[in-house]
């Protein structure tokens, strides 16, 4: 499974992309977050405040209860701040 990190999540995990093989009990995005958080202190800090984290599966926004498959591309990032002006 490919996991991507953007913005402050990339800074904190220290990587933009990693390939992981979570155990079978990790079924959902939320469970993947809990499992990834144990990988390093940086990962734990990236996921410390889940209100500031959004997820996408295969380039589409996904909720934490979304069920994952082994070939999915999962991305984690903060709420978006593109465009300009107010």
Partner 1 sequence: MIRIQHEDFDPGAEIARLAADGAGAGGLCLFVGLVRDMAAGQPIAAMTLEHYPAMAERELARIEAEARSRWPLRAVAVIHRYGRLEPGDRIVLVATAADHRGHAFDACRFLIDWLKTRAPFWKKEETPAGEHWVAARTDDDETAAAWDKTRE
The binding site for partner 1 (CB under 8 A) comprises 4, 6-8, 10-11, 56, 59-61, 75, 77-86
Query: Which residue in the block uniquely carries the two structure tokens 């079978």?
Result: 24
Closer residue to partner 1 in complex, CB, 23/33:
33
Farthest CA pair distance, the chain: 45
The token pair at 39 is 């990988």
Nearest approach, Cβ of residue 25 and partner 1 (Å): 28
Nearest approach, Cβ of residue 75 and partner 1 (Å): 6
Nearest approach, Cβ of residue 84 and partner 1 (Å): 3
Closer residue to partner 1 in complex, CB, 23/86:
86
Residue 31's H or E segment, with its range, is: helix 29-36
Contact 19, 2 (CB under 8 A): yes
């Amino acid at each position: 499974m490919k996991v991507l990190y953007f913005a402050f999540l990339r800074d904190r995990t220290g990587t933009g992309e990693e390939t992981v093989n979570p155990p079978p009990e990790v079924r959902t995005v939320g469970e993947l977050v809990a499992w990834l958080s144990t990988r390093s202190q940086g990962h734990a800090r990236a996921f410390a405040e889940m209100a500031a984290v959004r997820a996408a599966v295969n380039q589409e926004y996904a909720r934490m209860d979304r069920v994952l498959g082994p070939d999915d591309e999962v991305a984690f990032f903060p709420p978006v701040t593109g465009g300009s002006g107010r």
